[in-house]
Amino acid sequence: MKGFVVGVLVLSLLPAVAAAADVPLEAPLNPAFLSYQTSGSLSARASVVPVPVEHPTGYIPSPLDYSHLTGATATSTIRSAIVTATTLPAAYDLRDYNRVTPVRDQGQCGACWAFGSVASLESGLLPTEGDDFSENNLKNTSGFDLAACDGGNGDMATAYFSRWSGPINEADDPYSATSSTSPSNLAPVKHVMDSLVIPPRNSYNLPDADAIKQAVMTYGAVTTSIFVDSGASSSRLSAYYKPATASYYYNYDNSINHMVAIVGWDDNYAASNFATTPPGNGAFIVKNSWGTSWGDQGYFYVSYYDTSIGQDNYVFTTAQPVTTYNRVYLYDPLGTTSSMGYNSTIGWFANIFTAQASEQLKAVAFQTLDVSTQYEVYVYTGVTAGAPRSGSLVASLSGTIANAGSHTVVLTTPVQLTQGQRFSVVVKVTASTYKYPIPMERPYAGYSSTATANAGESFISFGGTSWADITTSYANTNVCLKAFAGQDSIPPSIGSFVVPTPATSHTIPITALTATDNVGVTGYLVTASATLPTAADPGWSASAPTGYPVTGNGTITLYGWARDAVGNVSAPATAQVTVAIPTLSVAVAGSGSGTATSSPAGISCTGGSCSDLYDAGTPVTIYATPSSTSLFTGWSGDCSGTGDCSLTMSGDKTVTATFDQFPPVKAGTATMGYYADLATAYAAAPDASLFTIQAQAVEFIGDLLLNRNVAVDFSGGYDSIFSTVSGASTISGTLTIGDGSLTVNGLDIH
């Protein structure tokens, strides 16, 4: 790692005009950073004034301006398979899923940014790992110009994690609000390989926060910015904060001075709960760093309509064991402080490194500054000084990264390096719309003045053919590009998969996953992806996994990876698995109507046919419910009878439910088996909302009382076999209609 040598500050004064193809332009600096740098007027400075404040803050704006991401929609990373915009629940709380670590207290120190960042990292490892990382180490060893309690931001935390300065266990560097130094011999207990910048909220007066919500569900707590007027007494909070409900609503400008962690939300949180009523309901659930005696045991509710929350959002993820890689090659210990471009969304950048040992180059990392950024990575060995694309091309890969942030991409095949060998990593990025896509570490007074660079390290290019040393345009500047290496290893071989037939619909049971040489193997992972997994991936187990989830018929390829005792991940063994999921097909037939439904749910037929997939061996019961005008007359196919249809999915099954209309009730000549009078026929009719009494053309003597809540259609005037109309039937008695109804057809009442 490069030392933190104080460098000379050189600010680019190039005019903000369209650049020639070979003239790089630096991105405009964050206006809030410029204001902070020139006047120190931001509230973050107030967090360290001599007079103690009741609740310190500590946010310092980054030089990076992410405002171009406002309203941007990240794709695959945030809109993952388990979270989409259409499935976001109305309320969600990470605490319900044991995915939040305890509330901490930053004390009289502007370290909120460290607490928010660590809260995100810890949350992402839960519920599997309950780590407690050191905020003290982050605030004390950030490497930036700011003193330990002078504040910070998510980009500073990203730099700390990306260069492997931390995280450190809390027990090894306990928090002290008054300390400014930490032990120098502490090694990180994880390697944080990725940090994501979640797009700012689209409008600070509307509850537009899907990206934040999706990130909370997918990754855990989201570190975010907010403005709190904490002041020297609680009275300064009274206009915005309501202690009785631990609710907060600030509705002025979009100033920010504090960092917290969003852990959930409630779309229906009442607007009346706030000290000042916002335009509508809804609130984020926020974890603060002011101890458990403040708010609701350290938490509070922030209105969706708050004008400050959600401007700067980060999540820290992919925390791997330190054995996955054992060396990081870098020239940018302070990470991305600026970016540049050639008036184009396309940019090329490269670093030339010298191998420190005979080892395998396994992955590279770089910063993206836009959503949906396409990338191409090339690795060359034996390169000539100053020529990053000379030598031999030994590896390449490409893809698309959904979110802005720092990302690690794993080489498909590791590259063998020899000690002393010069090698290069070359990256081409194509941003969606942003025209400053090349990330840089640059010195800025009062912030990153320790940044330094040497000629021959970092290079930039417009087209990837003609290269310029970046220090010729920007003094003490490097591109933000890292490489990760590990020692050679001989991975164990993995045996074959054994899959019962037929396979089940939602889980392919893996009954055996063995290694012929499993000495030192600590876990296995079965996936449907050839992408190299990490030890932090869900699915690692101390023994063979029990199954892999799938959702449809067909043939898939499963990959079985093994991780050895020192964290190396083997190349996979593969197995082609045919997934044959039993199908249950149900049809509704007959002259009547009704509904067929199933338990477990999946079947709901009101006419025609429907089907669903069920695990092999699953018992399924199908229920037939006739309509008010029909009778269920029985099952056919793989079920029979008139009761519930119960079967076991040992293979494809087909059943039909038949519903017929109620048969007519006949009244007329008793000797022909008909009812002798209307009253008797009426009494014998089914208790339904509609039935028919058919009557011969005869006179019925007697009274008739309609006292059931049914409709009666007296279809009269039938012949002796009830097939044709031959005249009208008559009734000479008294007809009384109670709570029934009467439809007359061919009936003479007199």
The residue segments making up the domain with residue 728 are: 665-749
Burial classification of residue 18, based on how many CB atoms lie within 10 Å of its CB (0-12 exposed, 13-18 middle, 19 or more buried)? exposed
Residue 720 is given by DSSP the state T
Q: Can you say how many angstroms the Cα of residue 732 is from the centroid of all Cα atoms in its chain?
A: 76
Beta pairing partners, 604:
597
Task: Compute the CA torsion angle 58, 63, 68, 71 (nearest 10 deg).
Answer: -10
- Say if CB 377 and CB 427 are below 8 A apart: yes
Amino acid sitting at position 20: A
Q: Is residue 17 part of a domain?
A: no
Q: Please check whether residues 630 and 587 belong to one and the same domain.
A: yes
Do 459 and 350 meet the contact criterion of CB atoms below 8 Å apart? yes
For residue 508, give Cα distances in angstroms to 268, 493, 542, 550: 40, 22, 19, 7
What is the rounded CA–CA span in Å between residue 247 and residue 286?
10
- 736 forms beta bridges with 705
Q: Is residue 168 part of a domain?
A: yes
**82 and 102 fall within a common domain:** yes
Residue pair 729/748 in contact (Cβ under 8 Å)? The answer is yes
Q: What is the largest CA-CA distance in the chain?
A: 118
Is residue 21 classed exposed, middle or buried when 0-12, 13-18 and 19+ CB atoms within 10 A define those classes?
Answer: exposed
CA distance 124 to 316: 7
Judged on CB neighbours under 10 Å (0-12, 13-18, 19+), 690 is middle
Q: Which residues contact 78 (CB under 8 A, 6 or more apart)?
A: 196, 198, 211, 214, 215, 218, 402, 403
625 & 739 share domain: no
439 and 334 within one domain? yes
pLDDT of residue 201: 79
- Cα dihedral across residues 110, 48, 250, 154: positive or negative: negative
CATH classification at residue 557: 2.60.40
Q: What is the pLDDT of residue 618?
A: 85
What CATH code is carried by the domain that includes residue 202? 3.90.70.10
Does any domain span residue 117? yes
Report which residue type is found at 281. Answer: N
Q: Which CATH number does the domain housing residue 349 bear?
A: 2.60.120
How far CA 356 is from CA of 329, 359, 419, 420, 625, in Å, comes to 9, 8, 5, 6, 75
CA distance 624 to 550: 31
Nearest partner of 171 among 182, 159, 160, judged by Cα:
182
Distances (CA, A) of 441 to 332, 347, 750: 6, 16, 103
> Last residue of some domain: 661, 689, 720?
661
List pLDDT tens digits, range 110-138: 999 999 999 999 999 999 899 999 999 99
Nearest residue to 667 via CA among 645, 644, 691: 691
> Over the stretch 460-498, which tens digit does the pLDDT of each residue have?
999 999 999 999 999 999 999 999 998 644 333 333 333
**Is 131 in the same domain as 72?**
yes
Residue 459 lies in a domain: yes
Contact criterion met (CB below 8 Å) for 161 and 167: yes
d(C-alpha 186, C-alpha 136), whole Å? 13
Pair 601, 744 in one domain: no
Instruction: Specify whether 384 is located in the same domain as 524.
Output: no
DSSP classification of residue 125:
H
Q: What is the CA radius of gyration of the chain?
A: 36
**Residues 297, 354 within the same domain:** no
Pairing of strands 653-661, 665-667: unpaired
How many other CB atoms are found less than 10 A from the CB of residue 538?
9
CA angle, corner 510, sides to 506 and 514, nearest 5?
160
Cβ count within 10 A of residue 743? 12
Distances (CA, A) of 336 to 192, 331, 350, 405, 483: 16, 11, 15, 10, 16
**In the Cβ-directed half-sphere of 513, how many Cα atoms lie within 13 Å?**
28
Spans in the chain with pLDDT lower than 50: 1-20, 41-52, 74-86, 231-235, 488-524, 535-536, 538-539, 541-546, 565-566, 724
Sign of torsion, CA 339 341 345 347?
A: negative
Query: Do residues 186 and 139 both lie within one domain?
Result: yes
Separation of alpha carbons 536 and 44, rounded Å: 35
Q: Letter for the amino acid at 61?
A: P
- Give the count of domains, the chain: 5
Co-location of 330 and 347 in the same domain: yes
In a domain, 25, yes or no: no
Contact 144, 156 (CB under 8 A): yes
> What does the pLDDT read at residue 440?
97
Question: 727's torsion region: left (phi>0), alpha (psi -120 to 50) or beta?
Answer: left
Distance CA 530, CA 552 (A): 20
Residue 15: inside a domain: no
pTM of the model: 0.64
Close Cβ partners of 160 (under 8 Å, ≥ 6 residues apart) = 138, 141, 142, 143, 166
Q: What pLDDT does residue 137 have? A: 97
Question: What gap in Å lies between CA 747 and CA 750, rounded to an integer?
Answer: 10
DSSP letters spanning 137-153: HHHHS--SSS-TTS-B-
Residue where a domain terminates, one of 631, 661, 691: 661
Helix (H) or strand (E) holding 654: strand 653-661
Residue 323 has a pLDDT of 84
Task: Tell me the pLDDT tens digit for each residue of 326-355.
Answer: 899 999 999 999 999 999 999 999 999 999
Pair (187, 54) in one structural domain: yes
- Supply the DSSP string of 671-686, one letter for each residue: GGT-BSSHHHHHHHS-
Strand pairing category for 729-731 and 699-700: parallel
Residue 278 maps to a domain: yes
Encoded tokens for 597: 């439904």
pLDDT of res. 46: 36
> Helix, strand or coil for residue 702?
coil
Q: Which 8-state DSSP code applies to residue 211?
A: H
Q: Based on the fold, state whether residues 569 and 603 are members of the same structural domain.
A: no
The residue from 539, 555, 579 where one domain ends is: 579
Is 21 contained in some domain? no
